[in-house]
Amino acid sequence: PFKSVKTPMLKKGLKEFWTTGELNRIFEAEESPAYRALWGLMAYAGLRFSEARNLQAQNAQNGIIRVINGKGGKDAELPISKKLAKLIEPYLKNDGLLIPKSEVPLRSSHAINELKVACGIARITKGEISHHKLRHSFASNLLREQTNARTVQELMRHSSIDTLFSY
Catalytic residues: 48, 71, 132, 135, 158, 167
**Can you tell me whether residue 125 is helix, strand or coil?**
coil
Contact predicate 131/115, CB 8 Å: yes
How far from chain centre, in Å, is Cα 59? Answer: 17
Rounded Cα–Cα distance for residues 23 and 25 (Å):
5
Contact predicate 127/133, CB 8 Å: yes
Q: How far is CA 24 from CA 83, 108, 118, in A?
A: 10, 21, 11
**Can you tell me whether residue 130 is helix, strand or coil?**
coil
Rounded Cα–Cα distance for residues 89 and 14 (Å):
35
**Can you tell me whether residue 20 is helix, strand or coil?**
helix
